[in-house]
Amino acid sequence: MSDARTAVLRLQGDDARVGDALDAVRSFAGEARLPPELIQDVLVVVDEVVANALRHGCFQGREPEVEIRLAIQDGALELRFSDNASPFDPLSVADPALDRPVEARQSGGLGLFLVRSLTDAQRYAREDGRNVLILRRSITL
Partner 1 sequence: MPLSIQVSDGSPGTVRIALDGSLDSETTPELEKTLRSVAERMPRIAFDLQRLEFISSAGLRAIFATVKRQKAHGGEVALSNMSPGVRKVFEIVKALPDMRVFSSTEELDAYLAKFQ
Q: Cβ of residue 129: shortest distance to partner 1, in angstroms?
A: 25
Chain centroid to CA 88: how far? 14
- DSSP assigned state of 128: T
Query: Does 125 engage in binding with partner 1 (CB under 8 A)?
Result: no
Which amino acid would we find at residue 125?
Answer: A
Which residue lies nearer to partner 1 by CB, 74 or 140? 140
- Out of 71, 76, 93, 118, the residue judged to bind partner 1 by CB under 8 A: 118
Instruction: CB nearer to partner 1: give 33 or 74.
Output: 33
For partner 1, what does the binding mask look like between residues 33 and 72, x meaning CB under 8 A? Answer: ---xx--xx-xx--xx-xx---x-----------------
Q: Give CA angle at 123 (121, 126), nearest 5°.
A: 170
Distances (CA, A) of 101 to 14, 35, 79, 95, 97: 36, 33, 32, 15, 9
Q: Which of 26, 69, 80, 130 binds partner 1 (CB under 8 A)?
A: 26
Which positions from 71 through 100 interact with partner 1, judged by CB under 8 A? Answer: 96, 98-99
Residue-wise DSSP of 45-57: HHHHHHHIIIII-
Nearest-angstrom CA–CA distance, 131 and 48: 15
Interacting residue ranges for partner 1, rule: CB under 8 A: 17-19, 22-23, 26, 36-37, 40-41, 43-44, 47-48, 50-51, 55, 96, 98-99, 101-103, 105, 107, 110-111, 113-114, 117-118
